[in-house]
Structure 1
Amino acid sequence: MTATPKPFRIHVSDEKLNWINDRVRTSTVIPDVPHDKGKEWDDGVPSSVMQEYVDFWRETYDWRAEEARINSTFEMFTVPIEEGGETIDLHFVHHRSASPSAVPLLFAHGWPGSFLEVESLLKLTASEGDFPGFHIIAPSLPGFAFSSSPQSSEFSLGSIASIYHKLMKTLGYDHYLLQGGDWGSLITRIMAMDHPDACVGIHINFLIAGIPSPLREPLTTMRFAAGYFRDTLRLKLGLKWLNGSESGFSKIQATKPQTISQVLADSPVGMLAWIFDKLHALSDPAYEWDKARVITWTTTYLLTESSAHARIYKYARRKMDKEVSSRIIPAEVALGASAFAHDPGYAPQWLVSARIGKNVVFYNDTHKVGGHFPSVEVPDLFIADLKSFVGRVRNGDRWKLLEGKLN
């Protein structure tokens, strides 16, 4: 029997909120060492920046005001979904459009993001011209924000993809579109590969194609290795970033998720430093993060009281090749891809076609601004790409599957 979603509103207990505020009030910002100009972030979040944030948290930030704003902005629900012998109580945003032509779009976030990244898309429930409007669904990853944490050692990205597909079926969406960034880009790719009958199109903005196999993809390997292709340097720089100077966090979370989660769960300021270090590194250098936004994102991680937000790096990589890397999205699913200038997840169009999806209907790597969080950093550009992708999908034969199939 299919479970019925229940409306959800955030209300952090006074006890938990007082504990967080007390920890922030009594925290210590440790001194930094001198750095050359332009190198201030080389060792992590500078102490001067941390002090600004801690002072703001102590003196100005108001969680109750943020809580009220989130509750008034997002229509939220929870629903129990069985997967792999356990039940995940999944938290999700669901904004139904009043437009009769609207189609369902699932927005999938990653780390260190949250369902809050979908806010700029909520206005897309309205149809306009040729744009049909979206029914917007944005789940919180299992173990993130207000979704319960998986307990099985066999849990994987494929498990999340299955849960998200079941969510769409529960909501009455037999066919749908997908959008994903960070872990969400990989999860939605799995959904498109596992359920091509349901997934009509997928748009991603974190383009992880990996290194091609000389045995399976000799021509792609030759092109990848050739130094005269203009995209190769950008591709190599992205891989170097992901596997080099900025990869320490992922190595720790992929090997000792319980240890680092215990450390962070007991220190709100530590969690802030851990998250903001990557928000800064992954975004456009010209983008200025709003202090309240960063602290709100940090607080959602403190509220999980589990290691799932770190553990995803361990259970995902265990099956990465089987679930993602060795597979390709079939031709019946339309693929759109956007590469923003400061996102290390990059692949040129020829590599996207060779290793991610067979039917690339939209590709844009001309953005001069934006980073890993385009729906937050450059929402207008992000939405323009998403609408262009939808326009291309509407020209395909399978668009009719999305029409007239909504409950």
Structure 2
Amino acid sequence: MAPSVVRMTPFRIEIPQADLDDLRDRLVRARWPRQLPGDGWSRGVPVDYLRDLAEHWATKYDWREHEARLNEFPQFMTELDGLAVHFLHVRSPAPDALPLLLTHGWPNSFVEFRDLIGLLTDPDEGQPFHVVVPSVPGFAFSEAPASGFGVERVARMWASLMDRLGYDRYGTQGGDLGAYVAPEVAKVAPEHVVGVHIDGGFGFPTAADVPGMDEAERAEWAQMQQWMSGGVDHHALLRAAPQTMAYSWNDSPVGLLAWLTHKFKEFAFMAETPDQVIDRDLMLTNASVYWFTGTAGSSSWPMYERLTLAADGGFAWPKGQRQVPSGVYGGGSPLMRRLAERDNTIVHWPEGNPGNHFVAMEQPRAHAADIRAFFGKLALGQ
């Protein structure tokens, strides 16, 4: 299929020096609160931890180095559904590589895949891919959406983008927010998507599933409820008052860093601190993209548009689709597999893969290997 005749403008990240100077000035002049009573992270991000991270951001972190590294990826801007959208398009040296559409999560950005892209495009690593990484509207350099925006609209935009790039058959992949988008692309363009791979999320039970559970499954459900009840419910917070929170995120880099660090800590649930499992400079590159683009508020649209809200008011996990085969990086219990298969044709359900929530940042090599394992099964007809 020939690419559509639509303008795609080459793009480079070029943050003005004045913006870097302003960031450092704000970090140096931050007003720090007193540490509240409580152990560890029980009251939120500890002051000493965040001060050390902010000092690193101000005095040791080199944005220009990381900006140059991001600019090694070919980047473009195009218009999709009336919005200016930023995306990376990194072709493999192997001309017959399978195109792969990656969708990032929240509160992340295209930075999530920085260390994964090269592993996927390199034919020496195994099955190669041509990689496409769009920035979700409202994130990074993509224009923010108006009200009434949803995942199906993102999926249609992504399908249109792949058509413009000349890709007739391709895979989709994502975690977190991307786990909602990836199967939706298959729903809107099943004749073009060969398979859907997500980091996790298929098969998590809800209260509506409890009546059909046996005793052991009910015990498992109780344990899940206990785990899910911890932390800050950002879904409820950002449904209720995203504009209120956006003032501090947009005006104070320390306020933004505290919020992102808190969420990354909760998502790195098997680590004492998030930088034990994710490179500190990679976390700060993601924070810097949010800061320089002023998108901490606009990126919260999936919550205030109630993307993850079920009909009963509870949390809604991605359900998937049956049009094409699906696989996950992190499988789960027999209960989760059973529930996942209600709405998906599961062909890949591994156990024991390493990592927490943002596995592309934590375990890029294992993540790449699992993506290859899934799409390899499809190629072999398994």
TMscore range, shorter length? 0.7 to 0.9
Q: CA deviation at 1:256?
A: 1.2
Mapped partners of 2:45, 2:76: distance in 1: 35
Mapped partners of 2:116, 2:375: distance in 1: 14
Which one of the candidate residues 154, 164, 174 is aligned to 1:160? 154
Mapped partners of 1:310, 1:352: distance in 2: 27
Pairing of 1:337-348 with structure 2 (within 5 A):
337-339=328-330, 348=336
1:125 match: 121
Which one of the candidate residues 349, 355, 370 is aligned to 1:363? 349
Mapped partners of 1:109, 1:361: distance in 2: 23
State the Cα deviation string for residues 347-378 of structure 1 (Å, max 9, x = none).
721111124x1x111001323x4100111112
Task: Report the aligned-residue RMSD.
Answer: 2.8
Amino acid at match of 2:93: A
Pairing of 1:6-405 with structure 2 (within 5 A):
6-36=9-39, 40-72=40-72, 74-82=73-81, 87-122=82-117, 123-128=119-124, 131-151=126-146, 153-209=147-203, 211=205, 222-223=211-212, 225-229=213-217, 236-242=222-228, 244-283=229-268, 284-285=270-271, 287-306=276-295, 307-317=297-307, 328-330=320-322, 332-339=323-330, 348-355=336-343, 357=344, 359-367=345-353, 369-396=354-381
CA contact (8 A) 2:155 2:184 kept: yes
Relative to structure 1, the CA distance from residue 290 to residue 98 in structure 2 (aligned partners, 3 Å threshold; closer, same or farther) is closer
Amino acid at match of 2:80: I
Of all paired residues, the percent bearing the same amino acid is 29
Mapped partners of 2:318, 2:98: distance in 1: 30
Mapped partners of 2:264, 2:334: distance in 1: 18
Aligned residue for 1:317, secondary structure, equals coil
CA contact (8 A) 2:92 2:129 kept: yes
State the Cα deviation string for residues 204-260 of structure 1 (Å, max 9, x = none).
11315454686xxxxx6555x32324xx65655445444x22243222112211111
Mapped partners of 1:318, 1:203: distance in 2: 19
Relative to structure 1, the CA distance from residue 234 to residue 266 in structure 2 (aligned partners, 3 Å threshold; closer, same or farther) is farther
Relative to structure 1, the CA distance from residue 326 to residue 384 in structure 2 (aligned partners, 3 Å threshold; closer, same or farther) is closer
Mapped partners of 1:278, 1:384: distance in 2: 27
Mapped partners of 1:196, 1:93: distance in 2: 23
Aligned residue for 1:365, secondary structure, equals coil
Between 1:371-380 and 1:201-210, the stretch displaced more is 201-210
Relative to structure 1, the CA distance from residue 313 to residue 164 in structure 2 (aligned partners, 3 Å threshold; closer, same or farther) is same
Which 4+ stretches in 1 moved above 3 angstroms? 208-214, 220-223, 232-242, 286-289, 318-321, 324-328
Q: CA deviation at 1:271?
A: 0.3
Mapped partners of 1:227, 1:340: distance in 2: 21
State the Cα deviation string for residues 14-71 of structure 1 (Å, max 9, x = none).
33222222211100222213434xxx11211111101111221222122222212221
Amino acid at match of 1:285: A
CA contact (8 A) 1:7 1:76 kept: yes
Aligned length: 370
CA contact (8 A) 1:339 1:346 kept: no
Mapped partners of 1:212, 1:228: distance in 2: 16
State the Cα deviation string for residues 89-110 of structure 1 (Å, max 9, x = none).
1111111112133111011111
Q: Does 1:4 align with 2:3?
A: no
Mapped partners of 1:3, 1:114: distance in 2: 25
Mapped partners of 2:13, 2:378: distance in 1: 36
CA contact (8 A) 1:81 1:163 kept: yes
Mapped partners of 1:94, 1:233: distance in 2: 46
CA contact (8 A) 1:340 1:372 kept: no
Aligned residue for 1:32, secondary structure, equals coil
